[in-house]
Amino acid sequence: MHVVVIGGGVIGTCTAFWLARAGCTVTLLERQPELAAEGSFANGGMLHASHGEPWNSPQAVGQLLAWIGREDSPLLLRPRRLPALVGWGLQFLRHSSRSRHQAATLANTRLARYSLEVMAVIRREAAIQDDGAQAGIAKLFRDQAQLEAATRMSELLQEAGVPFERWTRAQLLAREPALAGCADRLVGALYYPQDASGDACLFTRQLGRYCQTLGVELRTGTAVHALVATGDRIEAALTDQGRLEADQFVLANGPHAPRLLHPLGLRLPIEPVKGYSITLDVRGIDGLPRLPLIDDARKIVVTPLGARLRLAGTAEFAGFDDRIQPRRVRLLIAQLRELLPQREHELAAAPSSAWACLRPMSPDGVPIIGPTRFRNLWLNTGAGHMGWTIAAGAGRLLCDLMSGRQPALSPAAYLPARWL
Ligand SMILES: Cc1cc2nc3c(=O)[nH]c(=O)nc-3n(C[C@H](O)[C@H](O)[C@H](O)COP(=O)(O)OP(=O)(O)OC[C@H]3O[C@@H](n4cnc5c(N)ncnc54)[C@H](O)[C@@H]3O)c2cc1C
């Protein structure tokens, strides 16, 4: 069976890996000159099964109106994007009830846990070195009520297999002395020992090379412009390098999937949500965090990646505009300075690079994985803020569905049929 996978981010590359392992002939198409050059290039690096909560929690939705146009809000809604957001936004609100939000959180958690299990298989087999660590992740709180609410959610996740510890401020400082400079603003932390971290770009590019040894044909610099259908079957992908026929097609092109689906009459609700990161070369700087940290109130993450420190966050509904806005970068830097005031000068002098990109976000905050009404067209997209964490599992799940094998995880919560 010849499968064309469209999109060489972490999701498409993991999908190609499992398909090749299952005996398929795979062609992986990526429009950029290299794999993982867009959404998977410099994300927060967190492998956080503990963080599966979609962004439409009842509390966040209550604050949305107040956040419109506010540059320092965790979720920034650009007023010019509002008209395009109507349909998606209504679905986003519809899924914000307590029961739906909880069901979506558990669906993400199950997939994330499964993913971290099967990611270990990939790491071993492909001998991946991605500056990863198995140190757990600590989530920091500045507000007692928010710590209590997050503790209740973590108790629920614990039942789904994600253990956690609750740390007082003193326990947090004993485990992470780098936070001494901001301790008076923190009330405590939740620590998730089974979470991990790693560089998604290093992972994806190394996996891509390994896939080639399994026979995967990697065609970078190849953009797909359209899919050609006859009846309920996709005949070919039209690319800027010519027409490509295959038995099966997988769309794993992140937030751009709706553009290829729309001419086929499929309206997939995926919204691009922009985020930023800054990567600092911190060689020679002592006293930095040893643990990956999530600052819950600011919605930013700080992740040690070998000799680098990655700072990531911000969520902006600004359409497909992925330009780097200096004021958003300044906001992130100010937030890092606030967390690590005693390292302010060294960090300001460290070589750094900024990046902005688009998360592919579904209205219910759950990835979209599975078949469409075209019998040889499959989707693997919509992973939002969880794409790195769920990539290995999402690829395996889709591969099992395509090969008619019983998946280890029920696919029901992720199927495209809930939207198409
Ligand atoms: C600031 C930020 C921080 C994040 N932090 C984390 C984190 O800590 N942990 C976590 O789990 N997730 C995180 N995420 C989310 C995660 O990065 C994404 O969910 C994930 O990278 C999405 O992967 P993907 O393969 O679906 O998309 P992408 O990586 O965007 O890949 C899609 C690929 O398709 C290609 N493509 C698009 N259209 C075409 C076409 N027509 N033809 C050919 N190729 C095409 C693109 O060039 C691209 O390479 C973060 C995201 C952001 C923005």
What is the residue-wise DSSP string for 267-278? ----EEEEEEEE
Q: CB-based contacts of 92: which residues, under 8 Å, 6+ apart?
A: 56, 61, 363, 364
pLDDT along the chain (420 residues), means of 10: 98 98 98 98 97 87 72 76 85 91 96 97 97 97 95 94 97 96 95 98 98 98 98 98 98 98 97 96 95 92 97 91 91 92 93 96 97 98 97 98 96 97
Please name the residue ranges forming H helices in 188-273.
200-213, 257-261
How many A from CA of 39 to the centre of ligand 1?
A: 3
Alpha carbon nearest to ligand 1 atom 53, residue: 275
Amino acid at 56: N
Region of residue 126 (phi > 0: left; psi between -120 and 50: alpha; otherwise: beta): alpha
Question: Which domains does the chain possess?
Answer: 2-41+202-268+365-418 (3.50.50.60), 47-82+132-197+271-361 (3.30.9.10)
Q: What is the largest CA-CA distance in the chain?
A: 65
The residue among 88, 43, 64, 21 whose CA lies nearest residue 358 is: 43
How many A from CA of 106 to the centre of ligand 1?
A: 22
How many A from CA of 282 to the centre of ligand 1?
A: 25
Alpha carbon nearest to ligand 1 atom 15, residue: 385
Instruction: With both helix axes pointing from N to C terminus, report the angle between 200-213 and 98-126 in degrees, rounded to the nearest 10.
Output: 50
Reported pTM = 0.96
Q: CB-based contacts of 191: which residues, under 8 Å, 6+ apart?
A: 136, 137, 138, 139, 164, 165, 166, 167, 175
Looking from the CA of residue 388, the nearest atom of ligand 1 is 11
Alpha carbon nearest to ligand 1 atom 5, residue: 44
* CB 313 within 8 Å of CB 44: yes
Residue 22, classed as helix, strand or coil, is coil
Amino acid at 337: R
How many A from CA of 380 to the centre of ligand 1?
A: 11
* CB 227 within 8 Å of CB 260: yes
The residue among 341, 346, 312 whose CA lies nearest residue 303 is: 312
How many A from CA of 387 to the centre of ligand 1?
A: 7
Residue 180, classed as helix, strand or coil, is helix
Rounded to the nearest angstrom, the gap between the alpha carbon of residue 192 and the centroid of all alpha carbons in its chain is 18
pLDDT value, residue 70: 73
Tokens representing 62 are 């209550």
Tokens representing 320 are 């497909």
Looking from the CA of residue 312, the nearest atom of ligand 1 is 1
Q: Work out the angle at residue 328's Cα, subtended by the Cα atoms of residues 325 and 332, and round it to the nearest 5 degrees.
A: 140
Label the pairing between strands 300-305 and 242-245.
Answer: unpaired
C-alpha–C-alpha distance, residues 136 and 249, integer Å: 37
Region of residue 221 (phi > 0: left; psi between -120 and 50: alpha; otherwise: beta): left
How many A from CA of 38 to the centre of ligand 1?
A: 6
**Is residue 43 lining ligand 1, measured as CB closer than 6 Å?**
yes
> 33: burial class by Cβ within 10 Å (0-12, 13-18, 19+)?
exposed
How many Cα atoms sit within 13 Å of 312 on the Cβ side? 26
Choosing from 28, 35, 40, 205 the residue with most ligand 1 atoms within 8 A of its CB, the one to mutate for a pocket test is 40
The residue among 345, 325, 343, 342 whose CA lies nearest residue 278 is: 325
Alpha carbon nearest to ligand 1 atom 22, residue: 387
Label the pairing between strands 165-167 and 75-77.
Answer: unpaired
Q: CB-based contacts of 132: which residues, under 8 Å, 6+ apart?
A: 47, 123, 196, 197, 198, 199, 203
Tokens representing 401 are 């569905």
How many A from CA of 298 to the centre of ligand 1?
A: 22
How many A from CA of 250 to the centre of ligand 1?
A: 15
pLDDT value, residue 86: 84
C-alpha–C-alpha distance, residues 140 and 59, integer Å: 18
Q: What is the dihedral of CA 133, 164, 311, 185, to 10 degrees?
A: -140
**Is residue 258 lining ligand 1, measured as CB closer than 6 Å?**
no
C-alpha–C-alpha distance, residues 171 and 167, integer Å: 5
Tokens representing 206 are 């190394």
pLDDT value, residue 58: 80
**Is residue 10 lining ligand 1, measured as CB closer than 6 Å?**
yes
Choosing from 388, 390, 414 the residue with most ligand 1 atoms within 8 A of its CB, the one to mutate for a pocket test is 388
Alpha carbon nearest to ligand 1 atom 27, residue: 254
**Is residue 150 lining ligand 1, measured as CB closer than 6 Å?**
no
pLDDT value, residue 279: 97
Instruction: With both helix axes pointing from N to C terminus, report the angle between 387-402 and 200-213 in degrees, rounded to the nearest 10.
Output: 30
